[in-house]
Amino acid sequence: MGRVAYGSAGLLALALLTACSAEDPDGVAMVGQKAPEASVSFSPADKTANVPTDQPLVVAAQGGTLKSVRVDGGKSGPLKGLLSEDGTRWRSLGTARPGTVYKVTAVSVNPDGKEGERSSTFSTVKGGKTFDIKTVTPNKDDTGLTVGVGMPVMITFDNPIADRVSVERNLIIRSSKPVEGAWHWFDDTHVDFRPLEYWPAHTNVRLEAKLAGVRGGPQMYGKRDVKLDFKIGRSQITKGSTDNHVLTVRRDGKKIRTMPMSAGQGGQWKYYTTSGVHLAMSREPVTVMTSPGIGPGSAGYYSMTVYNTVRISNSGEYVHSAPWSVGSQGNSNVSHGCVNISPENAAWFIKNTLIGDPIIITGSPRKLEPTNGWGHWQEDWKQWLKWSSLKDGPTITF
């Protein structure tokens, strides 16, 4: 009897254990099942045509992560992108090229580590023509790559830009010190950037014009990207008055030179020196100056060679050596509109001036126009922003 009772208890215990195992949904019966392969989606979808060049490509993984995404554009080159921190989403950066078929290859990984590969294709809109940057200032040849605190970034295009927003948002200014600034369209082929206030001294600046494939107008796209690095030098600001006939130069806030001057004699409007914030536009050891609007043989005509000149406008104004007016410098205005200084002072000034240095003249009834040379600082910030498509914002520091 004892043995039978013992055996019955053992059978009962075994039956209970078996019943528990069979009813456990997370038990032995589930061991060995594998996670499904991760799924991958593409936007734009496979075989989508006429995709705008600025529409981002997004690749997403569900039930896993993305190991890699490759976007091949053939002769147009690959399309770069960025993977999210959790590895589930990839987004293209920049713009695609027009008239290009792109093949997208994505490799995903499921929770078990199994890899899967999916591919998709899409094609972009066809472009009829291109636009390019024709000139950019400052530059190595015309201004040098170390410039004054008032220097704007000036871009001209070889074709009129209809889609200003698209172009402007791809013109990126980076700087080593934070600066608030904005672009300003003077016309359809000319856009300039200036800060709210003068650049901080000794700031490194980079222009990144990421225009390749960017829409500039109907069926017109950017031809290439352009990058320019330059540096802001020391802060030098020159101020002069047509009333007190003196130029004062301050460097980094400290007065370093005072120079007697003679400004425009007036009488006729063209013979007044313009008042306003000028910028040094060029340094010319020798300049031949001729009378404005008067030809040879006419009364008042002149043609003369002048030395050590610094151009400050497009209407013929310079700060230059004038040995003939030294007696008037410091007490009266006798020039045809230029700022006359002595030969010694002119030699010093051209040597110590950077292109883009502010030269501020006051006292004259004739005001410098914002489009007369580099009169960018003649507009207050509200006026400047009026012609900006994206308005103001901070530069990207690096």
Question: The tokens 């999210």 sit on which residue?
Answer: 84
pTM for the full predicted model: 0.85
Contact at 8 Å (CB) between 363 and 332? no
pLDDT score at 392: 84
Q: Beta partners for 193?
A: 153, 183
pLDDT score at 23: 46
pLDDT score at 6: 39
DSSP string over 61-130: EESSEEEEEEEE-GGG----EEE-TTSSEEEE-S-PPTT-EEEEEEEEE-TT--EEEEEEEEEEPPPSEE
Closest-CA residue to 73 (of 58, 43, 53, 89) = 53
In the residue annotation, 336 being an active-site residue is answered as no
pLDDT score at 4: 40
**d(C-alpha 121, C-alpha 101), whole Å:** 7
Eight-state DSSP code of residue 166? H
Closest-CA residue to 100 (of 187, 278, 221, 238) = 221
- Among candidate residues 278, 336, 338, 376, the one labeled active-site is 338
In the residue annotation, 376 being an active-site residue is answered as no
Closest-CA residue to 222 (of 213, 231, 232) = 213
DSSP string over 258-274: EEE-B-B--SSGGGSPP
Contact at 8 Å (CB) between 325 and 341? no
Q: Residue 343 is inside which H or E element, if any?
A: helix 343-352
pLDDT score at 31: 55
- Among candidate residues 184, 278, 320, 376, the one labeled active-site is 320
- CA-based torsion, 141, 145, 147, 153: positive or negative: positive
Mean pLDDT in order along the chain per 10 residues (398 residues): 42 42 46 82 98 96 97 94 97 95 97 95 94 98 98 98 97 97 98 98 98 96 97 98 98 98 94 97 95 77 91 96 97 96 98 98 97 97 96 86
Dihedrals phi, psi of 197, to nearest 5 degrees: -125, 175
